[in-house]
Chain A
Amino acid sequence: MSRLKLFIPVFVFMVMAVMLWRGLYLDPRTLPSVLIDKPLPDFELPRVEDEALITKADLPDEPFLLNVWGSYCLPCLQENPILMAAKEAGVVPIVGVNYKDKLNLARLWMDDNGSPFDFSIMDADGRLGINLGVYGAPETFIVDGNGVIRYKHIGVIDYKTWDEEIMPALAAVKAEATL
């Protein structure tokens, strides 16, 4: 028994080593979102395209992607081709939230790179962003037909994320909608 005690430090070391090793591979930037399964916040904001005021009622009544972007945001440019392809294939409606951007720069960006969005909501002062728990573009939400947030992806969407995370999550939400 007393010899077993000798191994206590080794045991403690092993437990700590395993935990710290695991910790090395955790992504501290992926914060859990508290807004999953909560309804989208209310808003009344202009559209980037024509400055017409829109509200929650103007959002699609089928599952859609809500993509937070900005003209200053390089990862947004990076994920644009994927979103464009999704739009062209008619996979899912995409609504943009133009987060803390300038109207002319946002329009220029869409002219230059193409807009994957049905339309973009202009959130110049970042208020809608705060209500969405956003902390930086790009972030992408999956919203169901009832306006409830069902999934959130933080950071750039690459082909792997699109295939392995976004599409399955979207399929699940869509399957539920047709029940």
Chain B
Amino acid sequence: MRPFVIRVRLLCFGLLLGFGAVMPGGVSVPAMAAVDAFEFETDEQQRRFRQMSDDFRCPMCQNTSLTGSSGGVAEDLRREIYLMIMDGKTDEEIEQFMLERYGDFIFYRPRLTVETLLLWFGPLLFLVLGGWIILGIIRRAQPMTQEQVALNDEEQQRLKALLDNVKRD
């Protein structure tokens, strides 16, 4: 029975790994939209403003986006984004502006660099690892064939002796 216990443990472990891999990407709390008094010339400008306010993280009140934060610096940064959009700056230029001042922290969606490789692909790594373990368990858990279960002569005799013993008792 021992091998079976081990298998169940491994299975739980594998499931945990797989679960852990799926979790981090799924958690996101929609931020409350702050009232903005900005006026845009086009819907596209407004859409970009919304998008970027959502994608930048407020440096003061951590774990909220610029959109969701009423902190002083968040207001200022929203204003800067607005001014830059109206000034015809591209998204890349605005991201560069933020990066130069606040570093990688400002991005809710971290850039893909050597340092963030694990952050980006770690979950995938765990998923693959978990899947691999589960696959191994399933493969080993194949039902035994008739021949594997069959007793040889010696075993048959032992069984017979045991059964005889039981009857005598």
Q: Determine if A133 is an interface residue (Cβ-Cβ < 8 Å).
A: yes
Find out whether the CB atom of A127 lies under 8 angstroms from the CB atom of B101.
no
Chain A residue numbers with a CB within 8 Å of B60 are: 135-136
**Which chain A positions have C-beta within 8 A of B10?**
5
- Interfacial chain A residues near B9, Cβ < 8 Å: 6, 9
Q: Beta-carbon contacts of B75-86 to A below 8 Å, as 1s and 0s? A: 011001000000
- In the complex, how many residues of chain B place their beta carbon closer than 8 angstroms to a beta carbon of chain A? 19
What distance in Å separates the Cβ of A68 from its nearest Cβ neighbour in chain B? 11
B31 CB–A CB distance under 8 Å: no
B73 A134 Cβ-Cβ under 8 A: yes
Known contacts A126-B72, A134-B73: does B101 contact A31 (CB below 8 Å)? no
Q: Say whether A19 faces chain B, with CB atoms less than 8 Å apart.
A: no
Is A63's CB within 8 Å of the partner chain B? no
Contact of A34 among B77, B80, B99 (CB under 8 A): B99
Chain B at the A interface: mostly helix, strand, loop or mixed? helix
Range for the number of chain A residues in contact with chain B = 20 to 34
Which residues between 1 and 51 of chain B lie within 8 Å of chain A, taking CB atoms? 6, 9-10, 13
Tell me, in angstroms, the Cα distance from A6 to B9 when the chains sit together.
Answer: 9
A51 to chain B, nearest CB (A): 22
Identify the interface centre among A5, A33, A130: most chain B CB within 10 Å of its CB.
Answer: A130
Q: B62 interface residue, CB < 8 Å from A?
A: yes
Q: Which residues of B contact A31 (CB under 8 A)?
A: 59, 102-103, 105
Chain A residue nearest in CB terms to B12 = A9
Kindly identify, within residues 131 to 163 of chain A, every residue whose CB is under 8 Å from any CB belonging to chain B: 131-136
Q: For chain A, what secondary structure do more than half of its interface residues adopt (helix, strand, loop), or is it mixed? A: loop
Whose C-beta in chain B lies nearest to the C-beta of A41?
B101
Which residues in B have their C-beta under 8 angstroms from that of A29?
A: 62
Chain A residues with Cβ below 8 Å from B71 are: 136
Give B97-130 interface residues, CB cut-off 8 Å to A: 99-103, 105
Judge whether A35 and B76 touch: CB under 8 Å.
no
A130 touches B13 (CB 8 A): no
How distant is A17 from chain B, measured CB to nearest CB, in Å?
Answer: 15
Complex CA–CA separation, A135 to B74 (angstroms): 9
B16 CB, nearest partner CB in chain A, Å: 9
Residues of A within 8 A of B103 (CB): 31-34, 133
Residues of chain B with a CB closer than 8 A to A32's CB: 103, 105
Closest CB of chain A to B74's CB: distance in Å?
Answer: 9
Given known pairs A133-B101, A133-B102, the reply for A9 and B73 (CB within 8 Å) is no
Is residue A26 contacting chain B, with contact meaning CB distance below 8 A? no
Q: With A9-B9, A31-B59, A130-B80 given, is the CB distance from A136 to B102 under 8 Å?
A: no
Q: How far is the CA of A133 from the CA of B99 in the complex (A)?
A: 10
Q: Which residue of B lies closest to A134 (CB)?
A: B73
The answer to whether B62 and A130 touch across the interface, beta carbons within 8 angstroms, is no
Kindly list 9 other residue pairs between chains A and B, CB separation below 8 angstroms, not including A33-B103, A133-B59, A133-B102.
A8-B13, A31-B59, A32-B103, A125-B76, A126-B72, A126-B73, A127-B80, A129-B76, A134-B73
B interface residues with partner A (beta carbon < 8 Å): 6, 9-10, 13, 59-60, 62, 71-73, 76-77, 80, 99-103, 105
Closest 9 CB pairs of A and B: A135-B59, A34-B103, A126-B76, A133-B101, A135-B60, A135-B73, A136-B60, A31-B105, A133-B102
